Structure 1
């Protein structure tokens, strides 16, 4: 699983998964916090579909954090005011970016994969619920 997919799963999933993995990383690694978790405002860029042009919709609150494990930097960015989530993401990012083969890394990858599967199953279930209510207008009689 690459960095983008891993981050997507951890941000959109159960926060307990990231918390547990981050706690294990803190136990076995020396973590240097470069930028403590803090709240920031970022501009939200949107593409307008009619003209295909970009514009700024407005500002959004986010939390960011930056840590270092050995020579690897880790970054955590989360929308909203979730400082712990940003810190946990930064720790996990640094551990996976470090290039070191931690003894527990296969276990962490397995937990992230399990969470990804849970999210996929939940989306499939929601799609199935929506599909039950879909109306096929081509079967309606136009003579009415």
Structure 2
């Protein structure tokens, strides 16, 4: 599983999953914190649709953290002020970078969490579509 997909699942899914995976690693391996979770600003990049050009509408507050496990560095960056989640993401990322054996069993957990996220989004979309008005039928 690629880093981007894994990170999106951990950010959008249950924070308990990220916490459990990180604790699994922290209990077994020595985790050295390189950069404590700290807030920063990142320029938000958006692609304008008609001319396909990039522009920067503003900045986004992020929390970032860096850790090291077995000589491999893991990075956790999350929007908003979420120091615990950024730390957990960094530990999980370092575990994958170090190719720790625990990460093999995580694929199924992450895929199941991804299904839950998709179901929640579908339910939210469905509830929004219930309120949609069809103006063509109002002209009768």
TM-score normalised by length of structure 1: 0.85
Matches of residues 58-137 of structure 1 in structure 2 within 5 Å? Answer: 58-102=58-102, 105-106=104-105, 108-137=106-135
Whole-angstrom distance in 1 between the partners of 2:110 and 2:38:
25
Whole-angstrom distance in 2 between the partners of 1:2 and 1:70:
20
RMSD, matched Cα: 1.9
Whole-angstrom distance in 1 between the partners of 2:120 and 2:45:
29
Structure exhibiting the larger radius of gyration computed from Cα positions: 1
Whole-angstrom distance in 1 between the partners of 2:113 and 2:119:
10
Query: How far did residue 131 of structure 1 move?
Result: 3.1
Q: Report the equivalent of 1:22.
A: 22
What residue ranges of structure 1 are gaps of 5+ in the alignment?
none
Query: How far did residue 138 of structure 1 move?
Result: 5.2
Matches of residues 43-58 of structure 1 in structure 2 within 5 Å? Answer: 43-58=43-58
What residue ranges of structure 2 are gaps of 5+ in the alignment?
none
- The number of aligned residues is 140
Query: How far did residue 134 of structure 1 move?
Result: 3.6
Whole-angstrom distance in 2 between the partners of 1:51 and 1:3:
30
Whole-angstrom distance in 2 between the partners of 1:99 and 1:23:
17
TM-score normalised by length of structure 2: 0.87
